[in-house]
């Protein structure tokens, strides 16, 4: 489709202005067809950016290697540009929006010279769903177009829903590498120097401007940029929730179904839980979403969730048949791999894939030939695959994808899970005493820093409230207030009993020998079974100062977990919790100043009083 054929006057004007600013050689409005996807892949193959994987081993799949400066989200170059700095809050990088737009407009000027401008209409969520939102991304990267084909619903069907005057989030993106006449990329990943990378969000005007990076959440603007940072602002203003949460469908042996969501900071087992294979006989777990949940109230007063994404953008290293068999099955075909190793027989490889690499040599993520590893380990700093190497795969290929995953009405949520990586203090599972107590639990989510991360912070808890620290598009104190308001709205409507129950889980409790007590992975289904029952007020439980815990015999123990282990996993560490509360009071909550809701201060006092009771 040509720009002149666009029926939405606001969209047409916006594209024409972008074209005048960025001066591409041509403009293409994406139609979302399979033929278009194939063309994008062929363009990158012909330019030397993509390697076709062996058709017998990995049909329909390709491998890319990015520039070493462009391998992950760049938090220090990610901005929330609200007019008032306090509206961005203490957890976001802020620049005045007028100043930032001036800087970036200068960078965008002529940035697409020698390239094609692609206009990608995309829907986050099933097309036409009342919970979904439309975005339009302008980009000069065929790699981005191909990835967006997988990660969102793109093309003409989205324009049909948008109509002549529908709301859309405008998203600028350029790799920031214009080409002179006759110049080609010649197989070199196009991007700008780190000092010129900007991933900018303008919450008041609902805009996203990204420049200089071609990778991941910096460039696939439907993902973290729209689905969380901008959507969290829309959700606040419109009375719903946009959360960094997986969505699970759980069926018990009696055939009863419940849906739960879960928020976990990085390295806390989120993707593994999203595609869990239960070990508990008779139970079934299916995936609705692995990363993001958008939730709105239905007419019955319950919160209904959709997965706004259409694909998985997963971290490859550490993914194997033991940790996540369903993910491994999902990426057997039609998958885009980035920054993985390339084996002699034309397949991908990464650390902890479960086996050594075949043959004598392997090509690492930087394009260097190296001896093929005999095991699936590599010394730190010498990895074959980049630690943030990724796979982009269609969600429909997942063996455990739930049939409801594209239901435009969403699925009714019965429980929220919050979790972190805590070797001590936090029990295996804990149910909140109330909605407000649950918001408090979500607000203090964190993981203990280990020696492998930052040596001078070992033993400290790095807080990541609601697992939203890098993704909340406004002041996080106001974000806590929004969660409290959701509960208050339900109370006023007489539907508080229909709100999801809130739980905190911790798969990472350790013993005195520094060994994990709980085996995790599929065994986590045993904890999910107790949570499932608690949603109906069933399941053996005991009231404690920190919440409602299972009795030691309420969860069926897996092999290797003794009665003593179970007692330790469910022990309330009173002294540890006193220190936890002190840390929250002294080091965490003060960050939010007068934006911290008074209700959370009251909750903190109440928990402290119970602990000293």
pLDDT in tens, 511-532: 999 999 999 999 999 999 999 9
CA nearest neighbour of 336 among 66, 570, 600, 155: 66
Q: How far is CA 125 from CA 317, 390, 532, in A?
A: 28, 22, 26
Q: How confident is the model at residue 505 (pLDDT cuts 50, 70, 90)?
A: very high
What DSSP state is assigned to residue 77?
A: G
Q: What percent of the chain has pLDDT over 70?
A: 98
> How many other C-beta atoms are found inside a 10 Å radius of the C-beta of residue 329?
16
Residue 465 lies in a domain: yes
Q: How confident is the model at residue 613 (pLDDT cuts 50, 70, 90)?
A: confident
Last residue of a domain, one of 179, 207, 238: 238
**Same-domain check for residues 203 and 133:** yes
Q: Where are the alpha helices (DSSP H) in 118-262?
A: 142-151, 156-162, 216-219, 231-238
Query: pLDDT digits over 129-183, tens only?
Result: 999 999 999 999 999 999 999 999 999 999 999 999 999 999 999 999 999 999 9
Say if residues 420 and 265 touch (Cβ distance below 8 Å).
yes
State phi, psi for 504 to the nearest 5 degrees.
-115, 130
What DSSP state is assigned to residue 93?
A: B
Burial class (CB in 10 A: 0-12, 13-18, 19+), 282: exposed
CATH number for the domain that contains residue 424? 3.90.228.20
Residue 46 lies in a domain: no
Mean pLDDT of all residues belonging to the chain: 96
Residue 66 lies in a domain: no
Distance CA(573)–CA(541), nearest Å, equals 17
Averaged pLDDT, 314-335: 96
pLDDT score of 383: 97
415 pLDDT higher than 50? yes
Residue 121 lies in a domain: yes
**Same-domain check for residues 588 and 442:** yes
Burial 470-488 (b: 16+ CB within 10 A, else e): bbbbbbbbbbbbbbbebbe
**Same-domain check for residues 230 and 204:** yes
Residue 577 lies in a domain: yes
Averaged pLDDT, 324-330: 97
268 is catalytic: yes
**Same-domain check for residues 128 and 217:** yes
CATH number for the domain that contains residue 140? 3.40.449.10
pLDDT score of 76: 94
**Same-domain check for residues 16 and 104:** yes
Last residue of a domain, one of 211, 238, 265: 238
Which among 191, 268, 398, 400 is annotated as catalytic? Answer: 268
Averaged pLDDT, 538-563: 97
pLDDT score of 457: 52
Residue 540 lies in a domain: yes
pLDDT score of 459: 63
Number of H helices, E strands in the chain: 16, 30
**Same-domain check for residues 276 and 165:** no
**Same-domain check for residues 223 and 88:** yes
pLDDT score of 450: 54
pLDDT score of 313: 97
**Same-domain check for residues 272 and 334:** no
pLDDT score of 266: 83
**Same-domain check for residues 539 and 567:** yes
Say if residues 436 and 415 touch (Cβ distance below 8 Å).
no
pLDDT score of 376: 96
pLDDT score of 543: 97
**Same-domain check for residues 461 and 575:** yes
609: Cβ–Cβ under 8 A, 6 or more apart, which residues? Answer: none
> How many other C-beta atoms are found inside a 10 Å radius of the C-beta of residue 308?
28
Rg (CA), the chain: 24
253 pLDDT higher than 80? yes
What is the span of the domain harbouring residue 518?
243-307+405-612
Distance CA(334)–CA(56), nearest Å, equals 12
Distance CA(575)–CA(564), nearest Å, equals 20
Q: How confident is the model at residue 268 (pLDDT cuts 50, 70, 90)?
A: confident
**Same-domain check for residues 451 and 382:** no
CA nearest neighbour of 401 among 249, 245, 292, 251: 249
187 pLDDT higher than 50? yes
Say if residues 231 and 208 touch (Cβ distance below 8 Å).
no
Last residue of a domain, one of 217, 238, 259: 238
Query: pLDDT digits over 435-478, tens only?
Result: 999 999 999 999 987 544 433 454 688 999 999 999 999 999 99
Distance CA(117)–CA(171), nearest Å, equals 13
Take residue 20 and report the two structure tokens written for it.
Answer: 């005048």
Distance CA(40)–CA(198), nearest Å, equals 25
Q: How confident is the model at residue 14 (pLDDT cuts 50, 70, 90)?
A: very high
479 pLDDT higher than 70? yes
Distance CA(216)–CA(197), nearest Å, equals 13
Q: Hey, is 185 helix, strand or coil?
A: coil
**Same-domain check for residues 415 and 470:** yes
- Specify the number of domains making up the chain: 3
Averaged pLDDT, 320-339: 97
Residue 49 lies in a domain: no
H or E, element range at 169 = strand 169-174
pLDDT score of 269: 85
Query: pLDDT digits over 417-427, tens only?
Result: 999 999 999 99
H or E, element range at 80 = strand 78-80
Averaged pLDDT, 115-128: 98
Antiparallel, parallel or unpaired: β 116-124 and 26-29: parallel
Residue 56 lies in a domain: no
């Amino acid at each position: 489709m040509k720009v002149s054929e666009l029926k939405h006057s606001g969209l047409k004007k916006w594209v024409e202005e972008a074209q005048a600013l960025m001066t591409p050689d041509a403009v293409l409005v994406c139609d979302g067809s399979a033929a278009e996807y194939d063309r994008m892949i062929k363009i990158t193959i012909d330019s030397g950016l993509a390697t076709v994987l062996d058709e017998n081993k990995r049909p329909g799949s390709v491998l890319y290697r990015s520039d070493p400066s462009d391998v992950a989200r760049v938090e220090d170059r990610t901005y929330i540009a609200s007019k008032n700095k306090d509206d961005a809050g203490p957890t976001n990088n802020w620049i005045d929006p007028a100043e930032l737009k001036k800087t970036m407009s200068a960078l965008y000027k002529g940035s697409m010279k020698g390239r094609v401008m692609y206009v990608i209409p995309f829907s986050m969520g099933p097309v036409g769903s009342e919970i979904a939102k439309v975005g339009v991304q302008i980009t000069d990267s065929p790699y981005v177009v191909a990835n967006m084909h997988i990660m969102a619903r793109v093309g003409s069907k989205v324009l049909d829903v948008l109509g002549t005057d529908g709301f859309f989030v405008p998203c600028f993106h350029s790799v920031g590498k214009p080409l002179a006449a006759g110049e080609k990329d010649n197989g070199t990943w196009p991007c700008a120097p780190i000092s010129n990378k900007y991933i900018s969000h303008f919450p008041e005007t609902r805009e996203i401007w990204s420049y200089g990076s071609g990778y991941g959440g910096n460039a696939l603007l439907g993902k973290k940029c729209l689905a969380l940072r901008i959507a969290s602002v829309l959700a606040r203003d419109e009375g719903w929730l946009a959360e960094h949460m997986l969505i699970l469908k759980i069926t018990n042996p009696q055939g009863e179904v419940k849906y739960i969501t879960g928020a976990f900071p990085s390295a806390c087992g989120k993707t593994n839980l999203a595609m869990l294979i239960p070990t508990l006989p008779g139970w079934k777990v299916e995936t609705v979403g692995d990363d993001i949940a958008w939730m709105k109230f239905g007419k019955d007063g319950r919160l209904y969730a959709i997965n706004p994404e259409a694909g998985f953008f997963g971290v490859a290293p550490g993914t194997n048949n033991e940790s996540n068999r369903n993910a491994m099955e999902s990426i057997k075909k039609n998958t885009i791999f980035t920054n993985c190793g390339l084996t002699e027989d034309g397949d991908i490889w990464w650390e902890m894939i479960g086996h050594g690499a075949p043959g004598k040599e392997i090509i690492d993520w930087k394009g260097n030939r190296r001896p093929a590893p005999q095991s699936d380990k590599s010394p730190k700093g010498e990895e074959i695959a980049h630690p943030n190497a990724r796979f982009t795969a269609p969600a429909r290929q997942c063996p455990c994808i739930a049939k409801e995953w594209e239901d435009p009405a969403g699925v009714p949520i019965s429980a929220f899970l919050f979790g972190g990586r805590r070797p001590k203090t936090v029990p295996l599972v804990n149910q909140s005493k109330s909605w407000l107590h649950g918001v408090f639990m979500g607000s203090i989510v964190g993981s203990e820093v280990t020696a492998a991360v930052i040596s001078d912070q070992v033993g400290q808890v790095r807080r990541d409230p609601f697992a939203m620290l890098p993704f909340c598009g406004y002041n996080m104190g106001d974000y806590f207030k929004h969660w409290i308001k959701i509960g208050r709205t339900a109370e006023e409507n007489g539907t508080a009993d229909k709100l999801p129950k809130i739980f905190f889980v911790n798969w990472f409790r350790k013993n005195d020998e520094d060994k994990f007590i709980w085996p995790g992975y599929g065994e986590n289904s045993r904890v999910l079974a107790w949570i499932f029952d608690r949603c109906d007020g069933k399941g053996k439980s005991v009231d404690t100062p920190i919440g409602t815990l299972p009795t030691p015999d309420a969860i069926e123990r897996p092999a290797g977990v003794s009665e003593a282990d179970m007692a330790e996993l469910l022990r309330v560490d009173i002294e540890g919790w006193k220190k936890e509360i002190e840390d929250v009071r002294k080091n965490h909550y003060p960050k939010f100043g007068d934006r911290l809701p008074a209700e959370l201060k009251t909750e903190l006092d109440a928990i402290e009083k119970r602990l000293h009771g």
